[in-house]
Amino acid sequence: MKYAPYDSPTWGSDVMAEVVRGLGYKYVSLNPGSSFRGLHDSLVNYCGNDVEMIECPHEKIAVALAHGYAKASGEPMAVILHDLVGLLHGTMGIYYAYIDRVPVMIMGGSGPFVQDHRRPNIDWIHSANVQGEAVRAYTKWDHEPRSINSVPSIMARAHRVAVSEPAGPVYVALDAGLQESELNHPVDLSELDKLSKVPSAVGPDPAALKTLAERLCSAHRPVLIAGHAGRDPKAFDQLVELAELVGIGVIDTGIRLSFPNQHPLESTDTGALEKTDCLFFLDVKDMGKATQKLDSISRTVVSKIPKGASILDLGFNDLGLSSWSEDYAELIPVEVQVTADSSIALPLLLEQCEAIVALDDEQTRTRRQNYKAELSELHQNTWDQWHQKAEKSKNQSPVSTATLAGEVWKVVKNYDWVLTANTVANWAKRIWDFDKPYRHPGIHLGTATQIGISLGVALAHKGTGRLVVDLQPDGDLMFDAGALWVGAKYELPLLVVMFNNRAYYNDWEHQERLAKQRGTPMDRANIGMEIDGPAPDFASLARSFSWWAEGPIFEPDQIEKAVSRAAEYVTTTGKPALVDVVCQPK
């Protein structure tokens, strides 16, 4: 039931709630806590639940859900964490939002700061002198207002900092005593729109951008690696235009979906990188992962960039660089480096390249066409090899990862679909058709992140009629099984297909490598790695949370029909469904 808001703020928390609403937040995720009971009451009653509460069974899930929502919608989401202990529970979710450059407004109850207002024991052991210190190393900004009059400007600044690119999470601790203090004077909120207005994005130096364009257009075998550029949906088509205009092979890292995977100039794993004479990084934070070959046993890394290739870069570079986390990875020597927001710089670069290409002579035009034809042939050959490999494993039982991706695609392609995170060892990117920018908000970030992010992606697409698909690893769901309750509670249009290899196989594989190196028994690599004996019954687990569910499925010829039934249920009811498919280890 929705209650009408009161006429004017009465309590400190009413002001805080009004600011949250005034900043335009549609949702706030939380796990309940007494340190923000005042804010909770004001959001529900004073604001009439206009900022809808999404109740979560764990703080990490609450942050991950907001993370997924922001990635998929392009809008920030709010989270409330219960004083110090709730904040500590949420830290991993906050860190992943930070390294993924996602705007999340995190609020926390604290104190009371005035010690004689504290309850015995509990308010003391749950309080910290500077609560934001717990997450300062991996948030963009944190603060703790000490007066109700300072709340609007501090929260408005936090919002601006979170949303300004490179985006990221912020943390504001809201004192419990301040929340529960009755107002004795009006608090001016009339300037909130101006206070919270996000500054313009960072544009490129014109001379540097011109030089970059000239170097890119003069290259004979250019390759572009795209990172966070796809956070702007317009980049999807702009990159296609740029690649076709100049003749560029494009490698999409998947951090955000930046380029259609079936486009003939898409050059992931085709060998184009190893032959390039000009490598262009576009909004790439980690330049190493896409360009280096790793020997896991010896931990040695070899660059795939040819010697003599010129390296160009456009992105945020050292803006927002952390002095704590080394998520920026190895520094690669760059010849032309332009610092700018790619959403501003990419269309300007396209204009520069159009002007240059317009002056091409016949020889240059022929060179561009020949290179594009070569890239297209490499792309097709690579796709043919992937499909041949998938065909060889189609009858395996348990199911191969390639078959899982292929059988789910047979169903999903008939819907307006969105893939949340995991691509099952890249097989979805090798089989599915990622033809629109909203198809995929970005690749998974590691174990214990996916189900929460997937819920947020589903929330972002709720009401659109789209089928949101989560290819869900079993190990990840074991961390956060209670997250399934959120999908049922808020009727999220989420189809979960379990990528269930009954193991923490990534780590199991490491143990196998060491066993080969050290001569230790290979058949003992599974110890401490299996999710078996007993094997979790994920379908029964999902049904216990009121999901439609089916499985476990072992045979590949049963997948399509089961997924079809689940997809029909999700799209007709708007409620979640799960299909448990038992897969090969890799």
> pLDDT at residue 586 above 70?
no
How do residues 111-143 score in pLDDT, each as one tens digit?
877 888 888 888 888 788 889 999 999 999 999
How do residues 514-530 score in pLDDT, each as one tens digit?
778 888 888 887 787 77
| pLDDT for the residue 2 | 40
| Cα distance between residue 91 and residue 22, in whole Å | 27
| pLDDT for the residue 519 | 87
Going by C-alpha positions, the residue among 92, 93, 135, 117 that lies closest to residue 35 is 117
Amino acid identity of residue 42, one-letter, is S
Model's pTM, two decimal places? Answer: 0.95
| pLDDT for the residue 329 | 85
Q: Structure tokens of 503?
A: 């193991």
Distance of alpha carbon 358 from its chain centroid, rounded? 38
How do residues 268-309 score in pLDDT, each as one tens digit?
999 999 999 999 999 999 999 999 987 767 778 889 999 999
Q: Structure tokens of 199?
A: 């500054």
**DSSP string of 281-325?**
EES-S-SSTTTEEEETTTTEEEE-SPTT-EEEEEE-TTTT--SS-
Q: Structure tokens of 572?
A: 């007709």
End-to-end CA distance of the chain: 48
| Cα distance between residue 204 and residue 182, in whole Å | 49
As a whole number, mean pLDDT of residues 551-580 equals: 97
How do residues 347-392 score in pLDDT, each as one tens digit?
999 999 999 999 999 999 999 999 999 999 999 999 999 999 999 9
How do residues 150-198 score in pLDDT, each as one tens digit?
999 999 999 999 999 999 999 999 999 999 999 999 999 999 999 999 9
Going by C-alpha positions, the residue among 259, 253, 173, 210 that lies closest to residue 437 is 259
| Cα distance between residue 409 and residue 568, in whole Å | 14
> pLDDT at residue 580 above 90?
yes
> Domain 206-381 in CATH: superfamily?
TPP-binding domain (3.40.50.1220)
Domains 12-195 and 206-381 share a fold: yes
> pLDDT at residue 501 above 70?
yes
CATH number of 12-195: 3.40.50.970
Q: What are phi and psi of 493, to 5 degrees?
A: -80, 65
As a whole number, mean pLDDT of residues 493-516 equals: 82
Parallel, antiparallel, or unpaired: how do β-strands 467-473 and 336-339 relate? unpaired
- Identify the band that residue 4 occupies on the pLDDT scale cut at 50, 70 and 90: very low
Q: For the beta carbon of residue 75, count every other beta carbon within 10 angstroms.
A: 14
> Domain 393-582 in CATH: superfamily?
Thiamin diphosphate (ThDP)-binding fold, Pyr/PP domains (3.40.50.970)
Going by C-alpha positions, the residue among 544, 550, 570 that lies closest to residue 491 is 570
How do residues 406-434 score in pLDDT, each as one tens digit?
999 999 999 999 999 999 999 999 999 99
Parallel, antiparallel, or unpaired: how do β-strands 300-303 and 292-295 relate? antiparallel
Q: Structure tokens of 60?
A: 């990490």
| pLDDT for the residue 1 | 32
Residue 568 neighbours by CB under 8 Å, 6+ apart = none
Q: What DSSP state is assigned to residue 6?
A: P
Q: For the beta carbon of residue 323, count every other beta carbon within 10 angstroms.
A: 6
How do residues 305-355 score in pLDDT, each as one tens digit?
999 999 999 999 999 888 898 888 888 999 999 999 999 999 999 999 999
Q: Structure tokens of 98?
A: 């930070």
Q: What are phi and psi of 144, to 5 degrees?
A: -140, 100
- In the chain, what are the domain boundaries? 12-195, 206-381, 393-582
As a whole number, mean pLDDT of residues 62-84 equals: 97
Strand partners, 310: 278
| Mean predicted lDDT score pLDDT of the chain | 93
8 A C-beta contact, residue 53 and residue 227: no
Q: What percent of the chain has pLDDT over 70?
A: 98
